[in-house]
Amino acid sequence: MRVLVAGAGPTGLTAAVELARRGVEADVIDRREEGSSLSRAVGIMPRSLELLTPSGVSGRLLAEGMKFTKVRIYRENRLALALPLDVMSPRHGYAFLVGLAQDRTEGLLADAFNRFGGSVRYGTELTGLELRGDSVGVETSAGPSAYDYVIGADGVGSTTRRCLGIDFPGFDLPQTWSIADVDAQGWPNTDAFTLCQLARGQVAVVAPLEANRFRVVSNTEDALATLPLKLNTTNIRREGQFTISVRQVAEYGRDRVFLAGDAAHCHSPAGGRGMNLGIADAAELAERLVAGTLSGYSASRHVDGARTVSGSERVRRLVTSPNAMTRTVVFAGLKVVSAAPALQRRMAQQILYG
């Protein structure tokens, strides 16, 4: 079976690894000249760890990443809730999140693909597709070829999606968000994901990436200036701004071509689900390709995607609400949760497993 994977982000690499461990060596292309150095998604969810266990990737993610066993929520600079994630029942394998910069997650996936005998062809761009019924004609910057199946894991601006003529309905959020990747000393909560809610619906989030390296994200134009807690920054590795779209395709492919990851859905970082949803798409697609059950792929992933996109939007609207009454209700709710172990378990379950 000849399979082309367009895009070597976390989704495309997961598809490649999951196919390779089942004996299908896909061709993987990416238009970048080399692997990414961007730390975008930093939270790896338990479900992703479970999916990446058979390939051996999870063991490496666990060895290299930080374990977040708590979520701390602040109102301005006052702690409103310290939620232990390990209040989950023991039947759940992972009662924590793993924090790791996305470029390292991609590096570990690429290493696994190499161990299975594959390698990514960088500097190669998908430019066109032709559906031929029994195969797919493919145009790339390296020339024409044909495949039995194509996986479009080429991100939010997907060429695969455009070639298939599939709409990407949804909307763009009006605000500019900001991100900073910094080295800092003395941050007390290295085992926690920290969320600060400020007046007028502003939020700032801190996630440890290494012992003294942190990611700060905010729905303002300056994440570091918005953070109301003291972070003794010694070096700013990267700062930037980004905008957010909330979109999902209605069909995850056509004929022998399938969409996965950001090519099929995108939403805000609230809930930290984007990369994890792409990993789940890719793992299911690889399994179905090998099992010959591709007809169920689109419907199955659409359900999971729609639930995740709407859940992320609910969280974003709640935590960024500028409405003073909503904020009062949120913090009253957190006070109740902090005194009720059963509610803590429920909230931890929601954060870890959705």
Q: Does 21 bind ligand FAD (CB under 6 A)?
A: no
Query: Which string of x and - marks every residue 124-143 that binds ligand FAD (by CB under 6 A)?
Result: -xx-----------------
Check residue 275 for interaction with ligand FAD (CB under 6 A).
yes
**Contact pick of 58, 102, 194, 308 for ligand FAD (by CB under 6 A):** 102
DSSP string for residues in 253-292: EETTEEE-GGGTEE--STTS-HHHHHHHHHHHHHHHHHHT
Give the DSSP H or E segment for 109: helix 102-115
Question: Judged by CB under 6 A, which stretch of 7-15, 60-68, 111-119, 305-313 contacts ligand FAD?
Answer: 7-15
159 part of the interface to ligand FAD, by CB under 6 A: yes
Task: Please check whether residue 195 is in contact with residue 97, taking contact to mean a CB–CB distance below 8 angstroms.
Answer: no
Are β-strands 120-122 and 126-131 bridged in parallel, bridged antiparallel, or unpaired?
unpaired
- Phi, then psi, of 70 in degrees rounded to 5: -140, 155
Q: In angstroms, rounded to a whole number, what is the distance separating the alpha carbons of residues 23 and 6?
A: 19
Minimum gap (Å) between residue 214 Cβ and ligand FAD: 13
Per DSSP, the three-state class of 315 is helix
Nearer to ligand FAD (CB atom), residue 95 or residue 109: 109
Sole window of 150-158, 219-227, 246-254, 336-344 interacting with ligand FAD (rule: CB under 6 A): 150-158
- Rounded-to-integer distance, Cα 8 and Cα 60, Å: 19
| Phi and psi, residue 94, nearest 5° | -120, 105
Whole-Å CA distances, 68 to 191, 192, 271, 296: 5, 5, 14, 35
Stretch that binds ligand FAD, among 27-35, 166-174, 186-194, 297-305 (CB under 6 A): 27-35
Q: How far is CA 133 from the centre of its chain?
A: 33
Is residue 274 within the footprint of ligand FAD (CB under 6 A)? yes
Which residues from 34-93 bind ligand FAD, rule CB under 6 A? 40-43
Over the range 128-139, which residues count as b (16 or more CB within 10 Å of their CB) and which as e? Answer: ebeeeeebbebb
- Span from 28-36, 194-202, 230-238, 283-291 in contact with ligand FAD (CB under 6 A): 28-36
Return the range that interacts with ligand FAD (CB under 6 A); candidates 6-14, 64-72, 300-308, 316-324: 6-14
32 part of the interface to ligand FAD, by CB under 6 A: yes
Which residue's entry shows tokens 């666990």?
Answer: 62
- The binder of ligand FAD chosen from 154, 213, 257, 309 (CB under 6 A): 154
Strand partners, 258: 151, 253
The nearer residue to ligand FAD, 208 or 327, going by C-beta atoms, is 208
Interface with ligand FAD in residues 164-183 (CB under 6 A): 179
* Pairwise CA distance, residues 348 & 289, whole Å: 34
**Spatial distance between the Cα atoms of 1 and 148, rounded to a whole number of angstroms:** 6
Does 10 bind ligand FAD (CB under 6 A)? Our answer is yes
Q: Which is nearer to ligand FAD, 41 or 198 (CB)?
A: 41
Using CB under 6 A as the criterion, which residues of the chain lie in contact with ligand FAD when the complex forms? Answer: 6-12, 29-32, 40-43, 102, 125-126, 153-155, 159, 179, 242, 261-262, 269, 272-276, 278
